[in-house]
């Protein structure tokens, strides 16, 4: 008879603070575990949480392991999405599955309204429309008196009326650009008023002319491949003329362990995940990390193995980071989370990075890698 055969969900709530640049999406999860007779247990258990796109079968969309969850009087409380991001749009039904000490609970728990508050980050609609999708000015209410024109409510005017009003007050019509001087126009110019007409000009601090002395306002890094970037400028920013056509900056990539791998032969490397990185020049440092879950394969003599991150594995390889793992318990099968971090500054060119494991000692050769994620992030000087 399985020890953990029933559970009761007490609370599943997403903590969603006000919108900002860093929104910590945290899932606070509470539940109750009993034995086969219905008696609440007191123990420390391993719980694996998975999110699927169906109530049975389906695809795993997110997974996170919590190897040491204390249970008192049957009750446990844990926080999800602290180590593995939940990158879901929350625009379709999702189902949560629990695996406690290798026992998978069924049925899965459908997410309710509270988790779908993640969708509030996006503005799906900001104006009222009729059944044909048409939005009317007349549906706008609460217009201040300051934008009334000659006693007429702006909300009731159409584009032709607004253009006519603009022309009579010697401002530019909203849909008529016939009086714009387009001589000497450059890519990226904006319209500026020179006192008598609208002309194309560079978008700088106020100067107007046909020479774009500040046309390139971009950030350049040491690499030659365009990458997504987060940018922050402190102090004085100086713009100079550069032959640049895109924004370049810090990027990242990851690779997940695709299957369960046995680590059972002493001295034989087992490749868990790989990444390829192209260094465009010196000075581009990269951060490498691996977070995985290993076990001793049902307690068969335990497990002792090394986990390494290497650059260009082979005869001329470089070991970036390494650690030794020992898993053993006389009474229980055991899971162990492993975290490995390292820094590298590769020379110019393409480089293959690998996270691998290798059994170290007989007879402790019954280890396995259950899952993991290999991350690479650039760090620009």
Chain segment 28-39, per-residue pLDDT in tens: 888 888 888 888
- Confidence band of 231 (pLDDT split at 50, 70, 90): low
**What pLDDT does 238 receive?**
52
Distance CA 123, CA 117 (A): 12
Distance of CA 83 to the CA centre of its chain: 12
Residue 95: band (very low, low, confident or very high) from pLDDT cuts 50, 70, 90: very high
Measured between alpha carbons, how far is 94 from 120 in angstroms, rounded to an integer? Answer: 17
Residue 343 pLDDT greater than 80, yes or no: yes
Give the separation between CA 373 and CA 87, rounded to whole angstroms: 14
Contacts of residue 344, defined as CB under 8 A and 6 or more positions apart, other chains included, come to: 285, 286, 288, 311, 318, 320, 353
- Is the separation of the CB atoms in 247 and 229 below 8 Å? yes
In this predicted model, what pLDDT tens digit does every residue of 96-108 receive, in sequence order? 999 999 899 889 9
Given a cut of 70, whether residue 211 has pLDDT beyond it is: no
Is the pLDDT higher at 138 or at 377?
A: 377
pLDDT at 212: 42
How far is residue 55 from each of residues 93, 94, 103, 366, 380, measured CA to CA in Å? 9, 8, 17, 34, 44
Q: How confident is the model at residue 121 (pLDDT cuts 50, 70, 90)?
A: low
Tell me what pLDDT residue 299 has.
Answer: 64
What's the whole-number mean pLDDT along residues 213-235? 49
Question: Can you tell me the distance from the alpha carbon of 222 to that of 348, in angstroms, rounded to the nearest whole number?
Answer: 10
| Residue tagged 């102090």 (tokens) | 235
Distance CA 363, CA 164 (A): 90
Looking at domain 6-121, which CATH architecture does it have?
Answer: Sandwich (2.60)
**186 to 122, 180, 243: CA distances (angstroms):** 35, 14, 15
Q: Which CATH class is domain 252-380?
A: mainly beta
Mean pLDDT, the chain, whole residue set: 74
Query: Can you tell me the distance from the alpha carbon of 349 to that of 312, in angstroms, rounded to the nearest whole number?
Result: 12
Provide the β-strand partners of residue 284: 380
- Ordered by start, the domain boundaries in the chain are 6-121, 137-201, 252-380
pLDDT in tens, 41-80: 999 999 999 999 999 989 999 999 999 999 999 999 999 9
70 closest CA partner among 16, 30, 113: 30
Cα-only R_g, the chain? 30
Confidence (pLDDT) at 115: 52
């Amino acid at each position: 008879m399985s020890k953990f055969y029933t559970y009761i969900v007490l609370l599943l709530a997403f903590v969603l603070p006000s919108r900002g640049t860093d929104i910590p999406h945290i899932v606070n999860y509470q539940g109750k575990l009993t034995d086969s007779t219905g008696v609440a247990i007191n123990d420390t258990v391993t719980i694996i949480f998975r999110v699927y796109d169906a109530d049975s079968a389906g695809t795993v969309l997110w997974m996170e392991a919590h190897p040491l969850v204390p249970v008192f009087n049957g009750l446990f409380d844990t926080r999800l999405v602290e180590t593995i991001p939940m990158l879901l749009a929350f625009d379709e039904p999702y189902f949560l599955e629990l695996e406690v000490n290798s026992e998978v609970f069924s049925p899965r728990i459908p997410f309710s309204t509270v988790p779908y508050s993640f969708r509030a980050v996006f503005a799906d609609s900001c104006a009222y429309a009729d059944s044909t999708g048409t939005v009317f000015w007349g549906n706008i209410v609460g217009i201040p008196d300051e934008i009334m024109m000659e006693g007429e409510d702006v909300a009731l005017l159409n584009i032709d009326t607004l253009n006519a009003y603009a022309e009579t007050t010697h401002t530019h019509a909203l849909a008529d650009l016939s009086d714009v001087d387009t001589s000497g126009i450059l890519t990226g110019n904006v319209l500026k008023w020179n006192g008598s007409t609208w002309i194309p000009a560079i978008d700088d601090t106020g100067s107007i002319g046909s020479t774009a002395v500040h046309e390139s306002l971009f950030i350049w890094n040491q690499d030659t491949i365009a990458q997504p970037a987060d940018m922050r400028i402190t102090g004085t920013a100086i713009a100079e003329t550069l032959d640049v056509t895109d924004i370049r900056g810090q990027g990242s990539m990851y690779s997940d362990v695709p299957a369960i791998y046995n680590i059972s032969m002493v001295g034989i490397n087992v490749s868990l995940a790989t990444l390829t990185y192209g260094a465009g020049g010196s000075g581009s440092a990269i951060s490498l990390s691996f977070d995985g879950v290993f076990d001793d394969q049902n307690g068969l003599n335990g497990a002792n193995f090394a986990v390494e991150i290497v650059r260009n594995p082979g005869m001329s390889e470089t070991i970036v980071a390494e650690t030794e793992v020992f898993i053993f318990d006389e009474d229980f099968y055991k899971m162990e989370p492993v975290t490995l971090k390292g820094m590298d500054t590769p020379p110019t060119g393409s480089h293959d990075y690998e996270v691998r494991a290798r059994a170290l000692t007989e007879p402790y050769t019954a280890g396995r890698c259950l899952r993991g994620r290999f991350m690479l992030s650039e760090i620009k000087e």
